[in-house]
Structure 1
Amino acid sequence: PITANGKVNRARLLEMEVTFTRENAYQAATNELEEKLVAIWEDVLGVERIGIQDNFFELGGHSLGVIKLMSTIQREFGKSLSYRDLYIDSTISKLAKKIESIEEEYANTIPVLEASELYDVSFAQRRMWIINELNPQSIAYNMPGRFVIKDTEPEEAFKATINALVMKHESFRTSFIEKDGDVFQKIEEYQAVELDIEDLMQLQEEEKYQKMLDAESLIFAQPFNLKESGLYRMKILKINVDHYEVLFCIHHIISDGVSMGIIRNEFFKYYENYKQNKRLPITPLKIQYKDFAAWQNNIIEEKMDEALHYWERKFVNFPDKLLLPERMIMDYDGNDGQYNVVIDNDLNQKIKALVSTTQISVFSLFLSSLYVLLNRMTGQDDIIIGSPVAGREHFETEEIVGCFVNTLILREKINRNERFDHFLQHVSTSVSEAVTYQAYPLELVLENLQMKYPDIQVFLNIINFSDVNELKNSSQYDFSKNVNVKFDMIFYITPLDDRILLTCEYRKTKFKNTDIQHIVGELIKVISDAASHSEKSISEIGLTTRRRLVKR
């Protein structure tokens, strides 16, 4: 579902039923361990009646789901698995045998720090601090959101809910302080938060619309001062007696995509409970983000040599910047662009069939196709694509608001004479290895190699909407406003039941909408041809209009 201006209609998306089909005949669990794993998979995937021969990736599993599965297994069974384990043993039957074969118990809990005036930052926070110091007026790392509440007299519940969130998560009370040439976190004690509610009920529709635009600009499009506590903003607009819009923005240095989901889920959970019972079911966190940061810094120094060696090999003879066919757009209005296309059921079924027969993920197929496309667009054989990973491998980080996300540098060399299906398997293995070593921060790799941060131009990400059914009964939720793109092109894959939503956000300073329409169309041609004829060579797959992509 797409809005009139071409953006994803999140509200309409929430109204859609999302289920996943399976290719294998159902086989029930045969022992207690398999029964427990079935329950875990059903919770992670949002799928019912999972059999022990069903494949995790065929049921809609992806990298974020793998991380959640790994952390749940750590918590429930006290044993640690790698991403590679879950990639190889991707059925419950195989996974149960793998867990039984592991003798060593996972006992590496994250210790709680003693109270202090200042705390160490994480590697991700340090990088964002440096970026902000270079351009303190930037809003590139603002994370905006919007909640639409259809209810009467919600003000008291709003206040209780927001204060509960600020009390529970120290990240809401965090600022950053320079001392002796270094940067530290400072965490303030909890103080009650007062709400900013503006009543627009008496205004005409045109006046309401202008007030909403003004509020969006104030909340979403203003920079944060990282040295001041409270790196978030919120404003509530009363549109009608039973219609409220909550505008929310938080800086990426204390949040990430998973954190936004945590905030959303807890907001609605606390709000509904308070409205019904005048009570809030707040479970205190065992650890906070500052504890994770200190633990991460310590464990990297002690146990990450293998990961460092892996990433150092990946960065040898780092390739040149991609020579993308860019335009110089002079009439830039400050907002970047977004283009969406829905892959229909026919192609989706072919994709599922290829994923099933090759035992690779949808992400690996799209990534391989994007490598091929970029190779043809640029003529370059050594291609870099970035991809974010949740960075929450430890089970104790599941419910914490904070900046855990890490960037994977996915690098492949393309041989046009290689069969696409062989290339696909190679890419899938590379992704598995990269995610296995994801815990090692990119910032530290670059520091050890004395390299500057690479100019990553193209990103690929997969979006999970397994919680759509949970959301649609409560309220609308929309993070599609105010597109501000940090890279030249960012591709998002959103698998649904019988379709796949493919989104490309792009810099309007470099591309016109017609350029992106063509690029996305060519990507789908590659995917379609690969899904039907994966035995073709890379030079033969999909692309039919090379001249237009390479020349302006």
Structure 2
Amino acid sequence: MMKISKDEILKRRSKLSPIQREILEKRLRGEINSGSQLEVIPRRSQISPTPLSFAQQRLWFLHQLDPTSTAYNVSGFLRFTGSLNVTALEHSLNEIVQRHESLRTTFKMIEGQPVQIIAPFLSIVLPIVDLQKLPKNQLEQEIQRLTTKEAQVVFNLAQEPLLRPILLHLSKTEYLMQLTIHHIAIDGWSIGVFVRELTALYKAFCAGLPSPLPELPIQYADFALWQRQSLQGEKLESQITYWKKRLDSLPCLQLPTDRPRQAIQTFRAAKQYLMLPKALSEDIKALSQQEGVTLFMTLLATFQTLLHWYTSQDDIVVGTDIANRNQAEIEGLIGFFVNQLVLRTNLSENPSFRELLERVREVTLGAYTHQELPFDKVVDALKVERNLNRMPLFQVKFVFDNIALPLLELTNLTASTLNHLDTEETTLDLFLRMVDTEQGIKADLEYDIALFDASSIIKMLKNFEILLNTVIKQPEIRLNELVENLAKVEKKQLTDIKIRRKKEYSNLLKDVQRKAIMTIN
């Protein structure tokens, strides 16, 4: 066998698309079963109607429970500076809609079953709101008002379109485009696909050229049909058997809340943020590499330690999202592929953090290997009774996003992607999202405001950072020592607060006395 040089390997890797590199890296880490790409997804013979994918079915079902919810509205932004060709931009949006059937899909009931209805053609209009005459002190307020209002408009899944663009004209050379799409049509991976295609199409259309993008090998509905036909028989039973064994007698996290849980969840959410220092972020990466685990696993182990501290439970259950794109044909598709996995870690017998990392690694890789079973089928297999005041199987989720969005390089424009707008709704008690940035690892903790106060969540994030600072220096530290150290730090913080407040009260009293003496004199 011919030996391939390291330079040749690096050369070949550099030619891969960002998504292909991500799949390769996941496979090398053991997160993707190498046999999963051997199956080829065929094109379907019937265009429409077609069955829903399992992921679509999950969101469709939740929409039927609460048709007025905006919890699954995804709203993202592109900021343009320079000479914007609005016609080319609108043309690019419509070309993307025409390329991807998922963006022309609605959902209807036929013979008692929900199905995908795919429109052969759909024309999207890009409305323009002129804000150029507003003074600067009012402009930001109006942007916030308009974008929040747009993000909170409810979608009807039976009516097209399930995406809404709007362009805010801020000044002669400044524009902000907001694109709001229902989650049933898009996921995080899809956003990268969208940005890459928009870049290529806009450049071509500005130059008066046709679309340079190749025809897609399949469409989302092809995947949906293949998924349902593929996940049967022995393959289905193997997946069900694994999850039934793994999640037998699943506990419920008993988090200390600021208010008792209501009979029906209100879905109102808020967020608190944490930016880990660059040095700490690099130390966490170094520890992960040293221990042979991914950054996700190290952060998850620390988060589960934090949950152990708050609940005093050893059996810690956390949900996570998985891209669920293991076939080459679907890497360039826009659609909703994400599945939810349940990660259950045993923290009993006072393990060292190093031992806990190994447990988390085993749990995570086992879940990745059995990721194809849809979350709802796991719920059904375990015969979990659905409750109106909490999510089934898990109430806390952790997601680490390590897929960077591609750069926007557009003709005569400086363009950048901005964070998505929060819908202020949640189906979870807690949802910790983390992302690796150039400045350091950033975290945002979304929480149910019916259960928690902002002060409690701020303290939780501070405790999370304390744990991270401890484990990078002492990976051999035992769980009980970690908990004791955290208790000592929290006690010291409370003492410092009392001392500070006592000084403030004393100074205030002195100030009042001084003013009283001056008044008398």
- Fold in common (TM above 0.5): yes
CA positional deviation for 1:379: 1.5
Asked whether 1:300 is paired with 2:231, we answer yes
Matched residue, 2:399: 461
Distance in structure 2 (CA, Å) of the matches to 1:146 and 1:520: 27
In 2: Cα distance, 1:220 partner to 1:89 partner: 34
Q: CA deviation at 1:455?
A: 5.1
Q: Deviations over 1:438-497 (max 9, x none)?
A: 122111122233224515222111122544666799412113423533322222222245
What is the CA distance between 1:411 and its match in structure 2? Answer: 0.5
- 2:4 is the counterpart of 1:32: yes
Describe the superposition over 1:394-422 as per-residue Cα deviations: whole angstroms up to 9, x where unpaired: 11111111110000100012115222211
1:532 equivalent in alignment to 2:470: no
RMSD: 3.3
Deviations 1:59-83 (A, max 9, x none): xxxxx8886227xxxxxxxxxxxx6
In the alignment, structure 1 segments of 5+ residues that lack a partner are: 1-29, 47-63, 71-82, 91-97
Among 419, 438, 444, the alignment partner of 1:479 is: 419
Q: Is the 8 A contact 1:526 1:543 kept in 2?
A: no
> 1:261-280 deviations in whole A, cap 9, x for unaligned?
22222223322332244443
Q: Partner of 2:286 in structure 1?
A: 353
Name the CA distance, whole Å, in 1 between partners of 2:64 and 2:423: 23
Deviations 1:488-536, CA, capped at 9 Å, x for gaps: 2222222245732232222333323322221111112222211111112
Conserved? CA contact 1:325–1:549, under 8 Å: no
CA distance in 2, matches of 1:536, 1:248: 47
Once the two structures are TM-superposed, the CA of residue 344 in structure 1 deviates from its matched residue by 2.2
Matches within 5 A, 1:86-97: 86-87=28-29
Match of 1:25 in 2: none
Q: Which amino acid is the alignment partner of residue 481 of structure 2? A: E
Query: Please, what TM-score do these two structures have when normalized by structure 1?
Result: 0.79
1:175/1:228 contact within 8 Å kept: yes
Q: Paired residue for 2:23?
A: 68
Structure 2 residue aligned with 1:408: 341
Q: Is 1:507 paired with 2:448?
A: yes
Q: Judging changes above 3 Å, is the alpha-carbon distance between structure 1 residues 261 and 458 closer, same or farther for their aligned structure 2 residues?
A: same
3-state DSSP of counterpart to 1:388:
strand
User: In the alignment, is the contact (CA less than 8 A) between 2:70 and 2:153 conserved in 1?
Assistant: yes
Contact 2:197-2:213 within 8 A present in 1 as well: no
Whole-Å Cα distance in 2 between the matches of residues 259 and 363 of structure 1?
21
In structure 2, list runs of 5 or more residues that go unmatched.
Answer: 387-391, 495-521
Q: Distance in 2 between matches of 1:211 and 1:500?
A: 31
Query: Shift of the alpha carbon at 1:219?
Result: 2.1
Query: Is contact 2:192-2:405 (8 Å) kept?
Result: no
Aligned equivalents of 2:268, 2:409: Cα separation in 1: 28
CA distance in 2, matches of 1:526, 1:45: 37
Aligned pair partner of 1:269 in 172, 194, 200 = 200
1:312 to 244, 259, 271: 244
Report the CA distance between 1:140 and its aligned residue. 0.2
CA 1:195/1:342 → structure 2, altered by over 3 Å: closer, same or farther?
closer
Query: CA offset at residue 106 of structure 1?
Result: 5.6
Residue 104 of structure 2 contacts residue 122 of structure 2 at CA under 8 Å; is this kept in 1? no
3-state DSSP of counterpart to 1:391? coil
Which amino acid letter does the alignment assign opposite residue 10 of structure 2? V
One-letter code aligned to 1:518: K
Aligned to 2:214: 283
**In the alignment, is residue 114 of structure 1 matched against residue 56 of structure 2?**
no
2:417 and 2:259 mapped to 1: Cα distance? 34
Cα gap change, 1:525/1:407 in structure 2, threshold over 3 Å: closer, same or farther?
Answer: same
Moved beyond 6 Å, runs of 4+: 43-46, 547-550
| Counterparts of residues 322-361 of structure 1 (less than 5 Å) | 322-327=254-259, 336-361=269-294
After the TM superposition, which residues 126-525 of structure 1 pair with which residues of structure 2 at under 5 Å, given as runs?
A: 126-205=57-136, 208-209=139-140, 211-302=142-233, 303-327=235-259, 336-452=269-385, 454=392, 456-464=394-402, 466-467=404-405, 474-484=414-424, 485-496=426-437, 499-525=440-466
Distance 1:118 1:340 in 2: 43
**Cα distance in 1 between the residues matched to 2:385 and 2:7:** 49
1:5-20 aligned at under 5 Å gives the runs none
- How far the C-alpha of 1:192 sits from its partner, in A, is 3.1
Once residues 329 and 311 of structure 1 are traced to their aligned partners in structure 2, the CA distance between those partners, rounded to angstroms, is: 28
Shift of 1:160: 1.1
Deviations 1:213-256 (A, max 9, x none): 44324421011000112111111121222111111100011111
Deviations 1:144-176 (A, max 9, x none): 111111132521111211111111111111000
Q: What letter corresponds to residue 390 of structure 1 in structure 2?
A: A
Residues 362-403 of structure 1, C-alpha deviation per residue, up to 9 Å, x if partnerless? 111111111111111012221111110101011111111111
Shift of the 498–31 alpha-carbon distance from structure 1 to 2, 3 Å rule, reads farther
Distance in 2, matches of 1:368 and 1:295, equals: 35
Give 3-state SS (helix, strand or coil) of 1:479's partner. strand
